[in-house]
Amino acid sequence: MIGGPTVAVRARPKGPHPITSRRDADSRPEAFALRYLWEPGMKIILATGNKDKVRELQVLFGDVPVGVAPEGFDPEETGTSLFQNARIKAEALRADVPDDVIVMADDSGLFVHALDGRPGVYSSRYAGPDATYADNCNLLIREMEGRDNRGAAFGCCLVALAPGGQMLIANGVLPGEITHEAQGDDGFGYDPVFRPLSDSRTLAQMTRDEKSAISHRGRAARSMAHLLGIA
């Protein structure tokens, strides 16, 4: 094992959280002990079929071998929080991969204040089950017409299932605002219409390295790497 035992303490949220529902928060223990789970030679398998997410996460974990789910992997996401959906995907893949790998699933969403948190966990299918990135962005821009409060936040939850059954959870949040029109050609999802509070550009106007340094997914991945003991 790399490193020694550590203790992670989770304080119970005082109100609704964009990543976990109140039910999730109330069912989690206040504190739990864990050991670093990473061992040399182990591999991470990502429980997702989204090639854009895979590309970002592979870079974020550096030299660690990262594989992807089999072709056609697409479990039904019936959860009401990012944590629930990430767990559904991780558990759906765990039984179908070798015992000596760590299965990791990501669920992320855009939470817009003026829309009472929408699109939230339904971000990828906001404009319909077969919506493209452009469809979702265009619908969001239309729904935000005439609204002064343009605050929003991206949230990401990463769930890792280790060979021994242990579960690790890492979250990342990026606050920002919704722009009046799409700007930038890089990125994916809602990147062209989301401007972080720390920058004058949208995520789609940044380089991939710049985005990874501040993004919700980057923050969650760095936290997960620390929990696993690989960073």
CATH number of the domain to which 166 belongs: 3.90.950.10
pLDDT of residue 20: 46
- How many contiguous H segments (helices) and E segments (strands) does the chain have? 6, 9
* Owning domain of residue 221: 6-228
Q: What is the pTM (predicted TM-score) of this model? A: 0.82
pLDDT of residue 231: 66
pLDDT of residue 30: 32
pLDDT of residue 223: 94
Query: Residues in the chain with pLDDT < 50?
Result: 1-34
* Residues tagged active-site: 107
pLDDT of residue 214: 96
Q: Can you tell me which residue has the tokens 């990401």?
A: 156
Query: 142-162, pLDDT tens digit by residue?
Result: 999 999 999 999 999 999 998
Evaluate whether residue 1 is within a structural domain: no
53-40-84-15 Cα dihedral, nearest 10 degrees = -100
- Contacts (Cβ under 8 Å, ≥6 apart) of 28: 10, 12, 20
Q: How many Cβ atoms sit within 10 Å of the Cβ of residue 129?
A: 6
CA distances from 4 to 35, 38, 51 (A): 7, 11, 35
Query: 39-84, pLDDT tens digit by residue?
Result: 767 889 999 878 888 888 888 888 888 889 988 898 999 999 999 9
- Phi and psi (nearest 5°) for 147? -95, 130
For residue 111, the surrounding DSSP H or E stretch is: strand 101-112
Evaluate whether residue 155 is within a structural domain: yes
- Count of domains for the chain: 1
Q: What gap in Å lies between CA 88 and CA 75, rounded to an integer? A: 8
